[in-house]
Structure 1
Amino acid sequence: MISHVMFARCQSRENFDKIIADWQPHHKDLFGVHVIKLQHRLKDTGLFTREALGKVIERCPAKELGIESVSFEGEQHRRVYGELGNTSGIDAIAAIEKGRIWMNIRRVMEWAPEYRDLLDKIFDEFDDRMDGMKTFKRNLGILISSPNCKVPYHADIQGQSLWQIEGIKRVFLYPRSDIFMPPKNIEKILLRETTEDMPYRGWFDEHAQVIDLHPGEMITWPLYAPHKVENHDCLNISVTMEHWTKPIWNAYAVHYGNGVLRRTLGLNNTSTRDHGIHVYPKAASALLWKKMGKQIEGDVVKTRNFRLDPSSSDGRVAV
């Protein structure tokens, strides 16, 4: 009896040292295949207070700082882009809290080593808990967004998780099926023929899994599963983390290769399985396409329509 109590105490201390607070053994079978919601301890690191993030904003290289506003008309949306200007980091957060603005602080681990250490700690936890899982190309970004802001219907090209720090997000997660995300749409995203935003119809919501994400909670979902996000009536601070594994890379190569074959040979209905001998010629097709310079360059923002301004009623002024 004593030995069981001691074991439980040791296990409790070990779990307390982890960023993920409530991992269970069965989660390893669900990870990357089903939606999982877990508890996390990112707040305890002190890296995501408003004061800490204000300093991060001021350290952020201009090329890694995205500021935009998205307006919606029915099922359509329009983006306009902004700039920080001379606004301090903490004032930028105050401006965002007053408007309809998204700030995306990208690739934080590349220029802020304390966040690299945190990112590696988290994915080392995942790798240790899942036999045979090896993650690479790990990425951490920070999202600061206004009350009632929305992210359009879209899909991501790598393993993705969303970690809530402040505020509440409502996340709509749709079935990973050809109805909601046809293979040809995935190909368009990978070949950069379109953004991650995809065609959306209002009736999709009847089939969505809807989760309200609170501070201290995170979710992860299947690869290429479409989703959209709506903020509650409060400032939201969230962390996004991305990763690759061998199966994710295989899926990328297969869908990319299928896109090349569709465009060059007119082949349709090719296999999308992420394993098997067919992966390698499709990966070769993808590599050749890129080497030939066929891949479209990533979007470059050329026009910025506003600047953050905490003294303005909506947190911004025109430029």
Structure 2
Amino acid sequence: MTRTVVLAGGVGGAKFTLGVREALARREAPPATVVVNTGDDLWLSGVRLQPDVDSIMYALAGQNDTVRGWGRAGDTERVNEELQAWGAGWPWFTLGDLDLGTHLARTGWLRDGLTPTQVLERMSTRWDLGVRMLPMTDSEVDTHVRLADGTVLHFQEWWTRHRATLAPAAFENPGIGDAVPAPGVAEAIAAADVVLVAPSNPVVSIGPILAVPGVRDALAQTAAPVIGVSGIIGGAVVRGMADVCLAAIGVETAADAVARHYGARRAGGILDGWLVAEEDAALVPAIEERGIRSRAVPLWMTDAAASGAIVDAALELAGV
């Protein structure tokens, strides 16, 4: 039996989670618990959006738009057009009609008094996802981007409207210091046989999860090995603008630099092992000198089978 916990967010996290589900099914292991970033959540036009939660849920359900990389497949935008005609919402942030149904259901349940954890549990019953999904926290800790001139933008405005072209000085999650892990998160990490850190954005996807008080402590105390997968291949990001985020915190866009950013668990960081791409095999010795086991394997997540092979390599590195 392999009890697996995954820390994930974004499209990279969604693809990786598909691989986790496939690899564990082949092993006849229990479904993984996926702790999802909720730092890029937001309120828009009166509804609560959870972009990373929905990206992973839609991917597992086979409902995601693989061409755009976000939202529901085959969606339409009639309601979005009407909202824009009223001057409501953000004209550069599209809400698909099917996607809006998800947001309305979520918002209604939240206003009925359910917690985000309870809402996600209810939403997870619609499709056979093959994993247990948990938000990182039930608190609202949206990510804000502080620019050099002091201007503060919601992460989604900086990311979607400005395409990360405005140089960030810092990323902040107001209120996160008072947050606690969502029910089940710390318990799942404590009981795990392996914890996997998905190849998600280290700053704005994995970073907020690790910033929730109690999560790092849980990772430090678990008997399970913690294995991360690099989202940097050959010195370049696979998708998105993680390079801009990394530069803002003084981290080079390189697989070994991100490993140093996370740090070895025995030195106060979070990693016991770190998978890098074949293109970065020369970096393995330097990573291992930092006290982090490392191996170079193919890391392109071209389909679920390729993602599953990456998960197999991570589990092998963990020794489970």
Q: Please, what TM-score do these two structures have when normalized by structure 1?
A: 0.27
Q: Greater Rg, structure 1 or structure 2?
A: 1
Relative to its length, the structure with more strand (as a share) is 1
Using CA pairs under 8 Å that are at least 6 residues apart, name the structure with larger relative contact order, 1 or 2.
1
Higher fraction of helix: 2
Q: TM-score, normalised by structure 2?
A: 0.26
